[in-house]
């Protein structure tokens, strides 16, 4: 059953000549077609994928293959891909074919990976459930009436159902880690600036960061090794050397100091989630780690802080969609102003409009100091909390999400409750730190539970090592939904 294999296992099979990339890609294409009910993909380009697979097989014959050469992956539909639709899950870009490759896409192409297709997502990455997509909601492979999390829900569902061994996502307030937790896979949000944002459609420019979503920490290490690195075309990209993430996976955890913030284990945390997270901590104790109790006193301010800053940046970034240059244009209008108004009214969904309005209000004269400037000051306090915490510990752990996957439609009329679903992930983005979610159990309904790991700046290698050692002694990451 080659589709159940990890990226590392598929790479080894290709290297051993047990199968070709063309055969592997064809198998993934067949599974994607077989499980269209998940709505995990917006675009699947079989012709392009098989052509890339053929090139990968030729590279391997010539001895030019790398670890990802010939391995099929999926890309979140937020990365511009030359000659392919890049919709961001929005009606506004439903007809937009990108004229160039995002840096992330280019790097995977250079590595020889096969692009199977573009995954469904919350519109312009705004959402925690993948229900705001113009192309319809994605379903959680564990239970069809549950959400997969968002905004990278399509990528999470595709990996969970083993339609592809790995995929990319983006994380602005938890949009890699939260769907990874709700679907039971491994997801990594790197340090801000570690992965280029060039060609990645902007939601909130000071928060957005691309990262890998895969079955295992080992696979995430392989993908991050391709994605990471300095890009002169991205002014926020950090010029730091990229380590060999795979080489550091098996370091001993003896003496590792795990910080447990009291704010992550209080009111609002589901009891079954708490039990699973505490059990995971005990596994780490058995591996030689020590536990340090600590506090992140300003973490309760992270959600209101985020929902001022992120909509403010979204208001600015989404002002470019006016129907003039590209994308959707209202079919009927009387003059230029009428075209702007009707295009944006028809092209954007309710959640995007809500955030644009909030952001525009926060940036308006008379409210800038009261809201936006104050939120920036709170952001600095939140980052300072983490700085002080890391003086006492090496990694911070806790739940990724306060609950397991909720039902489709359960929170669509209650945006505040939806926003609170990211209460443990948002502080990491505000501080620009790396964060990771790994499978750590299931609740009584059979839905996955995620454990969040938070590291110091550019400490992704340590996070991957910590996650990998846990996965060597547990099997949560190996569980596959029934029927897949």
- Whether 132 contacts 150, CB under 8 Å: yes
Could you give the residue numbers annotated as active site?
Answer: 76, 151, 175
Q: Order of strands across the sheet with 166-170?
A: 41-44, 114-119, 72-76, 166-170, 210-214, 186-189, 435-442, 448-454, 395-399, 257-261, 290-294
Q: What is the rounded distance in angstroms from the CA atom of residue 76 to the CA atom of residue 40?
A: 10
Instruction: Identify the three-state secondary structure at position 72.
Output: strand
Per DSSP bridges, beta strands 395-399 and 257-261 are parallel
H/E element, 135: none
CA distances from 90 to 105, 123, 347, 360 (A): 20, 5, 7, 20
Q: Which residues pair with 228 in a beta bridge?
A: 195
Q: What is the rounded distance in angstroms from the CA atom of residue 322 to the CA atom of residue 305?
A: 28
- Whether 196 contacts 168, CB under 8 Å: no
- Whether 222 contacts 179, CB under 8 Å: no
Q: What is the rounded distance in angstroms from the CA atom of residue 195 to the CA atom of residue 307?
A: 24
Distance spanning both ends of the chain, measured CA to CA:
11
Q: What is the rounded distance in angstroms from the CA atom of residue 312 to the CA atom of residue 355?
A: 8
Neighbour tally for 461: CB within 10 Å? 21
CA distances from 375 to 59, 382, 428, 430, 462 (A): 51, 10, 15, 10, 31
Q: What is the rounded distance in angstroms from the CA atom of residue 1 to the CA atom of residue 51?
A: 23
Q: Helix 460-473 vs helix 271-286: angle between axes, to the nearest 10 degrees?
A: 90
């Amino acid at each position: 059953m080659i589709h159940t294999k990890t990226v590392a296992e598929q790479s080894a099979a290709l290297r051993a000549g047990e199968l070709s990339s063309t055969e592997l890609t064809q198998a993934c294409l067949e599974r994607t077609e077989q499980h269209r009910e998940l709505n995990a993909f917006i675009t699947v380009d079989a012709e392009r994928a098989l052509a890339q697979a053929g090139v990968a097989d030729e590279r391997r014959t010539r001895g030019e293959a790398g670890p990802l050469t010939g391995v099929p992956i999926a890309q979140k539909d937020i990365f511009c891909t030359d000659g392919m639709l890049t919709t961001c899950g929005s009606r506004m870009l439903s007809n937009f074919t990108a004229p160039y490759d995002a840096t992330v896409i280019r790097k995977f192409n250079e590595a020889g990976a096969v692009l199977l297709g573009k995954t469904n997502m919350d519109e312009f990455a705004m959402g925690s459930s993948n229900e705001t997509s113009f192309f319809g909601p994605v379903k959680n492979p564990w239970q069809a009436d549950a959400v997969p999390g968002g905004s990278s829900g399509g990528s999470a569902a595709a990996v969970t159902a083993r339609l592809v061994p790995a995929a990319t996502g983006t994380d602005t307030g938890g949009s890699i880690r939260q769907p990874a937790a709700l679907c039971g896979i491994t997801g990594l949000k790197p340090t801000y600036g570690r992965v280029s944002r060039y060609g990645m459609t902007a939601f909130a420019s000071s928060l957005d960061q691309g990262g890998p979503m895969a079955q295992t920490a080992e696979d995430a290490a392989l993908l991050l090794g391709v994605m990471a690195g300095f890009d002169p075309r991205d002014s926020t990209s950090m010029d730091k050397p990229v380590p060999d993430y795979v080489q550091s996976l098996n370091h001993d955890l003896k003496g590792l100091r795990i910080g447990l913030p009291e704010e992550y284990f209080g009111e609002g945390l589901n009891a079954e989630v708490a039990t699973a997270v505490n059990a995971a901590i005990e596994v780490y104790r058995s591996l030689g780690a020590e536990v340090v109790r600590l506090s992140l006193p300003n973490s309760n301010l992270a959600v209101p802080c985020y929902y001022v800053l992120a909509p403010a940046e979204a208001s600015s970034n989404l002002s470019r969609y006016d129907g003039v240059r590209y994308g959707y244009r209202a079919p009927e209008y009387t003059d230029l102003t009428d075209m702007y108004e009707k295009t944006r009214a028809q092209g954007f969904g309710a959640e995007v409009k809500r955030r644009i309005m909030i952001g525009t209000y926060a940036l308006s004269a008379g409210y800038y100091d009261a809201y936006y400037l104050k939120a920036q000051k709170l952001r600095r306090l939140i980052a300072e909390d983490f700085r002080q915490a890391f003086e006492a510990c090496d990694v911070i752990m806790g739940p990724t999400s306060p609950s397991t996957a909720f039902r489709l439609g359960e929170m669509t009329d209650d945006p505040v409750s939806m926003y609170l679903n990211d209460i443990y992930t948002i502080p990491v983005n505000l501080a620009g730190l790396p964060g990771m979610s790994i499978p750590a159990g299931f609740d009584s309904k059979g839905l996955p539970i995620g454990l969040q790991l938070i590291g110091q700046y550019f400490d992704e290698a340590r996070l991957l090592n910590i996650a990998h050692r846990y996965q060597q002694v547990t099997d949560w990451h190996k569980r596959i939904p029934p029927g897949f």
